[in-house]
A = this chain, B = another copy of it.
Amino acid sequence: MISERECIELIQRYAAVQKNEYLVKGIGDDCAVIKKDETDHLLLTTDTLVEGVHFNLDWHPPYLLGRKSASVNLSDIAAMGGRPKACLLSVAFPGSVPSWFEDFMKGFSDVLVEHDTLLVGGDTVKGHHDIVITVTLVGETDKKHTCYRAGAQPGDTIWVSGPLGSAAAGLSLCQKGLCDLSDPADKWQQLVKAHLDPEPLVSLGKALAKSGLVRAMMDISDGLATDLAHLCKAGGVGAEIQQDLLPISETLEQAAAQLQTDAIDWIVKGGEDYQLLFTAKPSDERKLRQLVTDLTGGEIFAVGRIIEGQGVYLCHNGKREDISYQGYDHFQG
């Protein structure tokens, strides 16, 4: 047996066997980046979802699962500031193709249409036991404006594009059978939707990248604690998050009370929010807020600061706790 860490290092080692002028950025960012032409980059990303590990059909309506399968990949393109262009879908089914696959395809296609992305290839293969969905997306960026995980500077403000923890809370509510999706008045709808049908922030990612104000960016798929640790490692820096600056909704607090859990754990460690995490000079704070207000009418949240050194720290009431890599681990489930 080899550990997941060793496995990733193994793939990275073999990926490093060859390098040429075609390769801009290989393994270790939200997308691989290769040269398209003199002005543009191509972005490539792929994600595999396994039934019973990454999704559960007991509570995930097929239409929304189709949407999510596209959205999580679109989010990787958004994280680089890219324009999604084309998509390949590969699905393995044990035995016959279930009838819910039609709803899945409708949801998958709807999200692609919303983001002007073409489905250009598809493949169904016979699986053995598991339903396995693999999506590959191709995007483009102006090479001047491609945003990487690396680039954060000590002193930078750390931003998140929206509230965190909703998807983790939604997953817990689904697992405990505490939501009724068919009831629009269900008080957990917003949290459950964050888990079942996350929105890829493609327009926001493009606008942030084009502004030139962002020094490092990625999406939050494995939780703030883990993803900020990746961003810090890529930039050779550390980070301090101020707990009091983390946005927290009343609904999230109510769900935490009902499930007798700590909302801060969901916010800091919960995965799959697909919000954007980025850093910028403190002096650009006003410009950034204006840009986002103009684009979406929404709000972004300054939650901490990049520091020299290493580690991701959560600061609260004068205490400083190292939370590096304590987020959701996709490999563990």
Contacts and interface: CB of A to CB of B under 8 A. Distances in A.
Interface of A: 1-4, 6-8, 10-12, 14-15, 17-20, 22-23, 26-27, 31-32, 34, 36-37, 42, 44-54, 85-86, 88-90, 92, 96-99, 101-102, 105-106, 108-109, 112-113, 116, 118-130, 132, 134, 136, 138, 330-333
Nearest to A13: B105
Contacts of A113: 17-18
A121 B26 contact: yes
List 8 tightest A-B contacts by C-beta distance, closest first.
A32-B120, A11-B122, A129-B129, A32-B121, A14-B109, A1-B96, A134-B134, A15-B119
A15 B122 contact: yes
B119 A86 contact: no
Contacts of A34: 85-86, 118, 120, 138
24 contacts: A1-B96, A1-B99, A2-B101, A6-B97, A7-B97, A11-B105, A14-B119, A18-B112, A27-B121, A31-B121, A32-B121, A34-B86, A46-B121, A47-B123, A48-B132, A49-B125, A52-B128, A53-B125, A53-B126, A127-B130, A127-B132, A130-B132, A134-B134, A136-B136
A176 to B, nearest CB: 21
A294 to B, nearest CB: 28
A110 to B, nearest CB: 9
A118 B44 CA distance: 12
A97 B101 CA distance: 30
Nearest to A14: B109
Contacts of A101: 2, 7, 10
B3 A96 contact: yes
Contact of A46 (B6, B37, B123): B123
B118 A48 contact: no
Contacts of A126: 50, 53, 330-333
Contact of A136 (B17, B44, B49, B92): B44
Contacts of A134: 46, 48, 90, 132, 134
B129 A46 contact: no
A108 B54 CA distance: 26
Given A105-B10, A128-B130, A123 B48 contact: yes
Contacts of A26: 118-121
Contacts of A37: 36-37
